[in-house]
Amino acid sequence: MTAPVLALAAGASLALQYTIMLAVMDRGIGAVSALLINSLVGLVLLVGIEAARHGPSFALDLLPRARLWFLLPGLLGTFFVFASLYGYRHQGAATTIVLVVAGQLVTGLALDGMGLTGAARPIAAPTLIGTALLLLGTALVVR
């Protein structure tokens, strides 16, 4: 499977994930509890995969290399899901998605430009034009 196909599938899965999480919340479960369920499912799945690949002591093997800043992606991911759920509930899926994508694109351009992503390339005029069009599209959807 290619990276573009995976990215499109990830986008579709996020839209479905948040819609399902809203349905969970509609059954009297709060946003934080819905997020906790979501995170626990992912945690159990990933622990199972790593235990199968590296044995049950894989977590102990990670400890010597662990750094406090390793927690940041988890915190950012939790914020991402919480903010997206809030957006879905208060402004709908399309508006939330377009704002998330716009934020990701602008931040991604900056990170690529600083060479922090590993796949950095120069930011050429077509990329800037595409970004401007996406931001214009964002404004049209949000209006």
Q: Quote the tokens at residue 45.
A: 């799945």
Give percent of the chain with pLDDT exceeding 90. Answer: 78
Stated as kind and residue range, the H or E segment containing 107 is: helix 93-113
**What angle in degrees, to the nearest 10, is found between the helix axes of 72-91 and 3-25?**
60
How high is the mean pLDDT of the chain? Answer: 92
Do 41 and 107 meet the contact criterion of CB atoms below 8 Å apart? no
> What is this structure's pTM?
0.83
**pLDDT of 120:** 67
Give residue-wise pLDDT tens across range 31-61.
999 999 999 999 999 999 999 999 989 989 8
Tell me, what's the pLDDT at 134?
96
Q: Answer yes or no: is pLDDT of 69 > 90.
A: yes
Look at residue 122 and tell me whether its pLDDT is greater than 90.
Answer: no
Percent of the chain at pLDDT exceeding 70 = 99
Give the pLDDT score at 117.
Answer: 87
| Start-to-end C-alpha separation, the chain | 36
Does position 1 have pLDDT exceeding 80, yes or no?
A: no
